[in-house]
A and B are shown apart, each in its own frame.
Chain A
Amino acid sequence: MVHFTAEEKATIMSLWGKVNVEEAGGEALGRLLVVYPWTQRFFDNFGNLSSASAIMGNPKVKAHGKKVLTSFGDAVKNMDNLKGAFAKLSELHCDKLHVDPENFRLLGNVMVIILATHFGKEFTPDVQAAWQKLVSGVATALAHKYH
């Protein structure tokens, strides 16, 4: 189980407080679909995903991205019990959505990159390390109930 120091928690929460969840969510999901096009397999009903600009401007992508990142906010609030916090979502992603957990790792890394673009110098190696722990913990928690 991943353990966060008090410092790591403070680092994570401080940055999260400044994130525009709606904007960042759309960007994260959009970049996932652009950079790793095979992830589009889960979104056949999203309409036009034919180019980078189509994807980034797609309203369904933005809406779903916001949903995903809002849920990620639960991770920030429950860093001491990620597996518990994401148990239900884990079952959903396995039983109903049939998402390969590798996709959670891909999305987590895309999120880290977006934080880097938004926060620039403030996104120091130490800050990145704390966030890598979090996205890795979330990916593991989301895969925990798979069978």
Chain B
Amino acid sequence: MVLSPADKGNVKAAWNVVGAHGPDYGAEALERMFLSFPPTKTYFPHFDLSHGSAQVKAHGKKVADALGNAVAHVDDLATALSALSDLHAHKLRVDPVNFKLLSHCLLVTLASHHPAEFTPAVHASLDKFFAAVSTVLTSKYR
């Protein structure tokens, strides 16, 4: 799947709307994922996963910052996410199926906070973008 110029424009515009809420939305997406898809919690046995957890907040910021970096370098995701790609392949080894689950929860979070901007076309572009990021993050798995 290739991101068209229109997709890239939609993604950048959407991320602009997110603005300073990035960390909050990151944390919210994680919380949504842990509640809707309990097996995802198996990757965080060392975390307090209760509502409002400081660890989840911090991790949400990490995720948001990484996505912001990806948006800024949408023309070369492989280079921008190379270190994270190594991390996921060799250390974290999160099963690839889980990237779809977090991506879905990110979409739900954005849709609930910004329904007006979350048009079908923007929805499609963001879905493609998260899929592209996921592909890069799992690209060195084997």
Which single residue of chain A is at the shortest CB-CB distance from B38? A129
The listed residue (B112, B121, B124) touching A123 by CB distance below 8 A is B112
Q: Helix, strand, loop or mixed for chain B's interface? A: helix
Q: Which residues of A contact B111 (CB under 8 A)?
A: 113-114, 116-117
Which stretch (A16-24, A30-38, A71-79, A88-96) binds chain B? A30-38
Q: Is the CB of B36 within 8 A of A52?
A: no
Tally chain B residues at the interface, Cβ within 8 Å. 22
Q: Is B36 in contact with A128, judged by CB distance below 8 angstroms?
A: yes
A125 engages B115 (CB within 8 Å): no
Please, which residues of chain A bring their CB within 8 A of the CB of B121?
34, 52
Complex contact A56–B28 (CB within 8 A): no
Q: Is A4 an interface residue when CB atoms closer than 8 A count as contact? A: no
Within the complex, the shortest CB–CB distance from B8 to chain A, in Å, comes to 16
Candidates B104, B108, B123; contact of A31 at CB < 8 Å? B123
Indicate if the CB atoms of A30 and B120 lie closer than 8 Å: yes
Residues of chain B whose beta carbon lies under 8 Å from any beta carbon of chain A: 28, 31-32, 35-37, 104-105, 107-109, 111-113, 115, 118-121, 123-124, 127
